[in-house]
Amino acid sequence: MFDIAVIIINYNSSKLTQECIESIIEKTTSAINFQIIVVDNSSEKEDYLKLKSFCDKIAFPNFQLVRSKVNTGFGGGNMFGVQFSNAKYYAFINNDTLFLNDCLSILKSAIEKDNSIAVVGGQSYKEDEKQMVAFDHFASLTKEFFGRDFLEKTNPKKYPKRKATYTAPLKVNYVQGSFMLVNADKFNTVGGFDTNIFLYYEETDLCKRLEKNGGSSYLIPDAKYIHYHGASTPQNIAIKTELKISLLYIIRKHYGYLSFCILLNYLRFNYLISSIFKPKYGYLLKVLIAGAPLSKSLKAKQKIVDFN
């Protein structure tokens, strides 16, 4: 069994994936026994072949490239990768990240200090190495209506300031999905990522379920990495719509139907007003009027891509 299974998803961004792999291999000490599993999430043929050509030349012994014929999203892609793993911890790493130091060793050391810890994450930085927000507070009606600052002022112990600089491990609601190290046994016990979610809020949902099962999440600021935020995901109205579908799904899942209805009608009103001034929000409004069902998710629009 390996110490860590590193799982990386590629979707039409093979250059980023190559750089990510190289940084992991370069920065990780040989004392860590780890495997790397790259999941190609049904990329276009040209991008996949570029990635395969790179992977075929890698000298790292515990390396595997696997391909899904369907784009299953972030959670589904990682769950596909988990099937090829054999490790005590899973490191889910976005392909638009670069290690600045020996992150795997630092996070492994931190998670092993306390059996109640289920998830740890490092401190992320922008390309210019300016600090980014590396953790967040669980989605809730209070957060949506009053914002993060309200939570941090009214209950700073439960909701520490996201934009502050920390030098010691910090208990948080959840760490960013761009890079998280998870106890494999705890992850498996709660069923891993919810594959109903195609994009966004997967880490929120996972850490919420782990917390309910007694597993806490910690920011470990000594582990440092660059995150090219959003570099692997195009920003358009379809993505914004997906964001709202996922948000409403987890609100209903964790807080019930009444909370779902309250937030849904709140968003309907907001985007009704927004669509008057910005017609591009018309599609998002239609989805909200329909109840933001999972059938409107990008997941339902994916097709099988077979090169043979």
Give pLDDT tens digits for 25-57.
Answer: 999 999 999 999 999 999 999 999 999 999 999
- How far is the C-alpha of 120 from the C-alpha of 133, rounded, in Å? 15
Q: Would you state the pLDDT for residue 292? A: 97
| Residue pair 79/70 in contact by the 8 Å Cβ criterion | no
pLDDT tens column, 241-252 = 999 999 999 999
> Taken in order 73, 78, 81, 83, is the CA torsion positive or negative?
negative
pLDDT tens column, 168-198 = 999 999 999 999 999 999 999 999 999 999 9
Domains of the chain: 2-227 (3.90.550.10), 237-301 (no CATH)
What pTM does this model have? 0.94
Mean pLDDT, rounded, for 109-117: 96
Instruction: Say if strands 2-10 and 216-227 run parallel, antiparallel, or are unpaired.
Output: unpaired
Q: Would you state the pLDDT for residue 307? A: 76
Q: Would you state the pLDDT for residue 230? A: 61
Q: Give the mean pLDDT of the chain.
A: 95
Strand partners of residue 40: 10, 67
Is the pLDDT confidence value at 234 over 80? no
Q: Would you state the pLDDT for residue 59? A: 87
pLDDT tens column, 274-302 = 999 999 999 999 999 999 999 999 999 99
Report helix angle 257-277 to 237-255, nearest 10. 160
- How far is the C-alpha of 90 from the C-alpha of 160, rounded, in Å? 26
Output the CA–CA distances (angstroms, integers) from residue 302 to 45, 68, 76, 132, 296, in the order listed: 16, 12, 13, 32, 12
Pair of tokens at residue 307: 């090169």
Output the CA–CA distances (angstroms, integers) from residue 280 to 166, 200, 240, 271, 275, in the order listed: 40, 21, 11, 10, 7
Task: Provide the pLDDT confidence category of residue 231 given band limits of 50, 70 and 90.
Answer: low
